[in-house]
Amino acid sequence: MATVYAVGVGPGDPELLTRKAERILRQADVILAPVSVPGDASVAHETVREFVDETRQELIIHQFPMTSDKSRLIPAWQEAAALIADRVASGKDVAFITIGDPLLYSTFIYLLRIFRENYPQIAIEIIPGISSINTAAAVAEVPLAEAEEKMVVIPATAGIESITKALEAYETVVLLKVKPMYADILELLRQTGRTKSACFVERVGSARQKVLTDISDMAAHTPDYLSLMIIRQA
């Protein structure tokens, strides 16, 4: 039976793919890679390029707009699901590749819902991937949690009030999507005395990786979209 594989390809370093992810990528008939802007390179595809044989496998680069406008997003999700379902109906295995993990702030979550509702006959297997959170902690040598400590992961776009409450309640706060709120976050670190217990990590696992632990360096830097912060108790 043809299968849809959701393959987490990790944060950007091909060596951080799991052995199972590599096996699935090499054997799949179709690889579908997401991109947010037409013409841009897919980070997921660039990560796994060496494992894909485009002379034998079909590569589909599909746009998923970077917007919260459901009137644009839902058609993109439905179109991707239909493309995949069409390939599966013809007996082809399809690997949907996503940076990080397929079930952690991933586009595949929305596709999974569509498959369950509209294509329940399609077999799905999810291959977990190493998240940017784990990789960032590793390169920065920052413990995420130990003993009875609690950790929370929130998108910075939830707002400064949510971030403030998280800092009060948890020993470790991981902020994703920090770019839109970057200046406000840095100011909050100053106000709460967390400037020496925070680290900023950008494009982790890639050639463009950057790790900053000094608040002055952070303030002088313009963050990339693929960046996060790990904030520990002061």
Percentage of the chain exceeding pLDDT 90 = 86
Pair 140, 199: CB distance under 8 Å: yes
Q: How confident is the model at residue 232 (pLDDT cuts 50, 70, 90)?
A: very high
- pLDDT tens digits for range 3-35: 999 999 999 999 999 999 999 999 999 999 998
d(CA 32, CA 45): 9
Q: Which two tokens stand for residue 45?
A: 């595809």
- pLDDT tens digits for range 157-175: 999 999 999 999 999 999 9
CA-based nearest residue to 151, from 176, 169, 173, 178: 173
Q: How confident is the model at residue 190 (pLDDT cuts 50, 70, 90)?
A: very high
Lowest mean pLDDT among 28-42, 106-120, 154-168: 28-42
Q: What average pLDDT score do residues 125-136 get?
A: 97
Q: Which domains are delineated in the chain?
A: 3-127 (3.40.1010.10), 132-232 (3.30.950.10)
d(CA 97, CA 153): 23
Pair 131, 104: CB distance under 8 Å: yes
In this structure, the chain runs to a length of 234
What letter would DSSP give residue 42? P
